[in-house]
Copies of this chain bind each other. A is one copy, B any other.
Amino acid sequence: MTQRIPIVENILSANDRLAEENRARLDAAGVFAINIMASPGAGKTSLIEQTLPRLASLARVAVVDGDIATSLDADRAAAAGALASIQINTGGECHLDAVMLRGALEQLDLTKFDLLIVENVGNLVCPASFKLGTHKSILVASIPEGDDKPHKYPGMYRGVDALVVNKIDLLPYINFRMEFFTSGVQALNPDLITFPLSCRTGEGMDAWIDWLIQNVKRNS
């Protein structure tokens, strides 16, 4: 196994350099960019679908969707009102990296946007290791995936700037110990700003939208 470590380090450090280039390109155009990560099915695409109409008159938004296969997510983002929607098919890779995002940025006229939403591959492990050059990393957790996830996937919870806890409408039907969940989050990332919400009912969406708009304005 030891043979793998230097190779992985080389990949990561090359990736970091490209991430810095992506960041510089975004900053030059005044685009605020977020990287949304989560388990498969936690609700990344649903969050984007619910976010886009609420930003309609407030920010010009592009969406970049990473998936192993299909363009289902980019299609949903386009239908929800993204001015541009680009699908990256990773061809089996379990995460986005800075090279892939660079390829997507080259297809966009960044001067036409205020906000770039990047939806990573559904995976609670690998995406945490690959910087993209975005300004903030967002983790979407969900009630049905269980209250033990911060304890079991510490790398992801440690590295993010905001946490969306989705599907709170399912709380009556699921044994989810909110205190156990919160204690795990606080041990890893004490000041993590958290948005409990339901993409299905819309409950809690306002606080998330306010935070996003504040960040876009601060960046412009």
Q: Please report A residues at the B interface, Cβ cutoff 8 Å.
A: 1, 4, 7, 11, 39-42, 67-70, 72-73, 92, 94, 99, 121-126, 142, 144-146, 148-149, 151-155, 167, 169-170, 173-175, 200
Contacts and interface: CB of A to CB of B under 8 A. Distances in A.
19 contacts: A1-B99, A4-B11, A40-B124, A40-B146, A41-B146, A68-B154, A69-B152, A69-B153, A72-B151, A92-B155, A94-B123, A123-B123, A123-B125, A142-B144, A145-B145, A170-B170, A170-B173, A170-B174, A175-B200
Contacts of A153: 40, 68-69, 122
Contacts of A92: 125, 155
Contact of A39 (B67, B122, B126): B122
Nearest to A125: B94
Given A68-B155, A122-B124, 8 more contacts: A40-B145, A40-B146, A41-B142, A68-B154, A73-B152, A123-B124, A126-B126, A173-B173
A175 B69 CA distance: 22
Nearest to A67: B152
In order of increasing CB-CB distance, the 7 nearest A-B pairs are A41-B145, A94-B125, A144-B144, A41-B146, A39-B40, A40-B124, A39-B39
